[in-house]
Amino acid sequence: MNDVLSEFTFPRTGLTVRNRTVLAALTNKQSHDDGVLSDEEHHWLTLRSKGGFGIVTTAAANVTEHGRGWEGELGVWSDHQLPGLTRLASELSVHGAVSLAQLFHGGMRAPIELTGVQPVSASENTDSSMKGVTSRELTHTEIESIIISFGDAAVRCEEAGFSGIELHGAHSYLISQFLGMKTNRRNDQWGGDLLGRSMLLKHIIQNVRARTSENFVVGVRLSPTIRDLGIELHETLQIAQWCVEWGLDFIHVSCWDVYQTKTDQNGQEMSLTRWFSQHLNGRIPIITTGKIWDQEDVKFAFDEGADLVGVGRAGIAHYDWPRQLEGEHSSPTKPPFSVEHLKKAGLSDTFVTYMSRWDGFVLP
């Protein structure tokens, strides 16, 4: 079994991470309107590097101006964002963390109120959060342009000094809208069977790989299943296998709850992490995330075959969560948290307000 505080080395690049803890991507609404990183966001993330996280991931950051999903979102779509990204990458590194930027496009979930344009997707779709606004099907030329934008953003992140990027292929955003059989009803090269629906992801990976250096770490975050989009576990396992062939450095499984199990058509039941670890059989490192809080959860995740453990809420509440795992019986405190506690953990008023929307996280 892995020890959470032991080093981890990415096999392809040889990059060593000081321990096996990952701050997962966490939207925090703190960026400026033009996507430039704010001092508050810089502070919240760099404090997690000072607090001992092995890997620190930025919030989902949009690769095109119109791919923006919400207010206060970090942008990686233009060079005017480069100075903030450079300052962040440099300070994350000074304090010892490996830095990843999470690259994303909202697709059908990029609200017209925010972008001023009709949302786009693999097909015409109406997402339940979009108040009846239907997305438009992307043309072939537009798809090619989005692929280049992901590549441009990755180049920008490497120039800024990030160790790598995580492609956001989870949680119903553009990449997963292409993967899902319900949201992708195309019959050209970007749709059809599972391989066709995976072409956007494949071409993004190829574009990023071709334009960044050998040592740049590139991974993907995937949701094992998304019912509304028509993404099934056996398909995501197949996509993960292809990702190995397409040269990725890690798969990040977004479980939301690592204890959740899934039964396949043959009646075999396993945790989501184990489905991936068994299927991939050590060919690519796995990060798993979802309700990991203490040593017991960490042990469970490693027993199920994870190489690294990701946290969202535990990392929001405890900037030094990795240090709190020292000692066998340590148990970082759980929600709800007072506003004062969260401010001491480096959250601004904006971020605290956002966290009050998460059930039971902030004390009323």
Compare residues 102 and 125 and give the one whose CB is closer to ligand FMN.
102
Interhelix angle for 233-245 vs 199-211, to 10°? 30
Cβ neighbours of residue 335 under 8 Å, at least 6 residues apart?
313, 317, 360, 361, 362
Compare residues 154 and 311 and give the one whose CB is closer to ligand FMN.
311
Compare residues 312 and 322 and give the one whose CB is closer to ligand FMN.
312
Compare residues 329 and 357 and give the one whose CB is closer to ligand FMN.
357
Q: Least Å distance between CB 221 and ligand FMN?
A: 5
Integer Cα distance of 210 and 190 in angstroms: 20
Q: Reduce the DSSP state of residue 104 to 3 states and report it.
A: strand
Q: Least Å distance between CB 104 and ligand FMN?
A: 7
Compare residues 147 and 362 and give the one whose CB is closer to ligand FMN.
362
Integer Cα distance of 180 and 178 in angstroms: 6
Query: Residues interacting with ligand FMN, by CB under 6 A?
Result: 24-27, 59-60, 102, 168, 170-171, 221, 254, 256, 289-292, 311-314, 358
Integer Cα distance of 318 and 139 in angstroms: 45
Query: Closest residue to ligand FMN, Cβ-based?
Result: 312
Give residue for tokens 């709800």.
Answer: 336
Q: Least Å distance between CB 339 and ligand FMN?
A: 15
Q: Least Å distance between CB 78 and ligand FMN?
A: 19
Cα 102-61-244 angle, rounded to 5 deg: 25
Q: Least Å distance between CB 273 and ligand FMN?
A: 13
The half-sphere exposure of 246 on its side-chain side, counting CA atoms within 13 A, is 25
